[in-house]
């Protein structure tokens, strides 16, 4: 391997800059260089989640032969869009770094080095049959069904692979919320509001606040897990009502 490629293999940020001509934001650098196994990214809309997922996938597949990278999205449309980002970055590579592809579809590719990148839509049926994933990235994790998340996790068992959940919040429910609030310190957590994104101007945000109203604005741009609008009781009210000290009314013990 060329010395320049070796440096890129060791540093995904260098890879993004040199090979893809892409300059990551500070939080994207942090996510790209992160060395742990479990990462939660709670990010504003349009902050660059999917772009970061695509770079992570490509870096892994290119430099680590025989890697299986799974990209999971809530819907077919979103998994197609995410895979298109991977393909666009692939095209941006300089000619001498272009990998030979032995399979190239709308939602998956296999490189000659035996690495695969597969972009999966959010139904549990599509996920069965994969094993030994080196990297799993859930994009829009708050909208990915919990069943799918539970189906995906065992694929890391043997490979010791890494799991990244990246999302804008979507109510106080589902596995993304649960891992963010109760997942413990096996997870690293990074939060990026729209104010932290250099491409989103304060003027635009003010306009959005007016147009969307507080509820949507807090969720989409400020990374807040707000109550689902039709919820009768708030999450905190329900949690406060759950007490071990209260004996059930109708069950004799
Ligand atoms: N570091 C960067 N420098 C320049 N442009 C960037 C950077 N990161 C992301 N972008 C651009 O910002 C836009 C949004 O990026 P992306 O789709 O990755 O964000 P997202 O968080 O997935 O958005 P959404 O919440 O809508 O899914 C895209 O046009 C992308 O090319
Ligand atoms: Mg996205």
Q: How far is the CA of 48 from the centre of ligand 2 (A)?
A: 7
The pLDDT assigned to 238 comes to 67
- CA gap 195, 44 in Å, rounded: 9
Residues 6 or more apart from 70 whose CB is under 8 A from it?
Answer: 118, 120, 127, 130, 133, 135, 136, 137, 152, 155
Whether the pLDDT of residue 168 is over 60: the answer is: yes
Mean pLDDT of 199-214: 95
CB 152 within 8 A of CB 110: no
Residue 45 Cβ < 6 Å to ligand 1: yes
Which ligand is located closest to the Cα atom of residue 198? 1
- What digits encode the pLDDT tens for the residues 28-86? 999 999 999 999 999 999 999 999 999 999 999 999 999 999 999 999 999 999 999 99
Atom 24 in ligand 1: which residue has the minimum CA distance? 46
> Which domain, by its residues, includes 102?
3-241
Percentage of the chain with pLDDT > 70?
A: 89
Place of tokens 């296999």: 110
**Mean model confidence pLDDT for the chain:** 91
The pLDDT assigned to 5 comes to 87
Residue 107 lies in a domain: yes
CATH of residue 125's domain is 3.40.50.300
Angle between helices 76-92 and 49-63 (to 10 degrees): 60
The pLDDT assigned to 253 comes to 47
Q: Model-level pTM? A: 0.90
Residue 208 lies in a domain: yes
Q: Output 235 or 222, whichever has higher pLDDT.
A: 222
Q: 185-212 burial string, b = 16+ CB within 10 Å, else e?
A: eeebebbbbbebbeebeeeebeebeeee
Whether the pLDDT of residue 241 is over 80: the answer is: no
pLDDT band of 251, cuts 50, 70, 90: low
- What digits encode the pLDDT tens for the residues 115-127? 999 999 987 676 7
For residue 30 the two structure tokens come to 């942090």
CB 117 within 8 A of CB 69: yes
Residue 251 lies in a domain: no
Atom 1 in ligand 1: which residue has the minimum CA distance? 24
Residue 199 lies in a domain: yes
Atom 12 in ligand 1: which residue has the minimum CA distance? 48
Whether the pLDDT of residue 18 is over 80: the answer is: yes
Residue 253 lies in a domain: no
Report the 3 state secondary structure along 207-234.
HHHHHHCHHHHHHHHHCCCCCCCCCCCC
Mean pLDDT of 198-220: 95
**What number of residues does the chain have?**
253
- CA gap 119, 109 in Å, rounded: 9
Whether the pLDDT of residue 3 is over 90: the answer is: no
Residue 87 Cβ < 6 Å to ligand 1: no
Residue 75 Cβ < 6 Å to ligand 1: no
Atom 7 in ligand 1: which residue has the minimum CA distance? 48
Lowest mean pLDDT among 91-100, 131-140, 241-250: 241-250
Q: How far is the CA of 121 from the centre of ligand 2 (A)?
A: 14
- What digits encode the pLDDT tens for the residues 117-161? 999 998 767 677 788 999 999 999 999 999 999 999 999 988 899
Which ligand is located closest to the Cα atom of residue 44? 1
Place of tokens 């799974």: 70
- Give the Å distances, CA to CA, from 174 to 150, 225, 230: 11, 11, 16
Q: In a 10 Å sphere around its CB, with 0-12 CB exposed, 13-18 middle and 19+ buried, how is residue 81 labelled?
A: middle
Atom 6 in ligand 1: which residue has the minimum CA distance? 48
Residue 167 Cβ < 6 Å to ligand 1: no
The pLDDT assigned to 157 comes to 86
- What digits encode the pLDDT tens for the residues 77-94? 999 999 999 999 999 999
The DSSP code for 158 is: T
The pLDDT assigned to 243 comes to 59
């Amino acid at each position: 391997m060329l010395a320049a490629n070796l440096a890129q293999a060791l540093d995904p940020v260098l890879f993004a800059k040199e090979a893809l001509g892409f300059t990551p934001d500070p939080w994207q650098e942090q996510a790209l260089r992160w060395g742990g196994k479990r990462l939660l990214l709670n990010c504003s809309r349009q902050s660059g989640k999917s772009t970061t997922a695509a770079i992570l996938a490509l870096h892994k597949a290119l430099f680590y032969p025989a890697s299986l990278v799974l990209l999971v999205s809530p819907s077919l449309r979103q998994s197609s869009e995410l895979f298109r980002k991977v393909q666009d970055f692939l095209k941006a590579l300089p000619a001498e770094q272009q990998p030979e592809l032995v399979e190239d579809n709308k939602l998956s590719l296999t490189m000659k080095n035996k690495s695969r990148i597969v972009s999966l839509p959010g139904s549990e049926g599509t996920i069965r049959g994969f094993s030994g994933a080196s990297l799993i990235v859930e994009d829009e994790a708050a909208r990915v069904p919990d069943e799918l998340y539970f189906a995906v996790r065992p694929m890391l068992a043997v490979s010791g692979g890494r799991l990244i959940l990246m999302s804008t919040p979507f109510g106080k429910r589902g596995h993304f919320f649960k891992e963010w609030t109760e997942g413990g310190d096996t997870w690293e957590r990074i939060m990026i509001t729209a104010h932290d994104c250099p491409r989103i101007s304060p003027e635009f945000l003010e306009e959005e606040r007016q147009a969307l109203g507080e509820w949507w604005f807090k969720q989409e741009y400020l990374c807040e897990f707000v109550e689902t609008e039709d919820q009768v009781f708030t999450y905190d009210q329900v949690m406060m009502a759950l007490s071990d000290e209260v004996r059930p009314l109708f069950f004799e013990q």
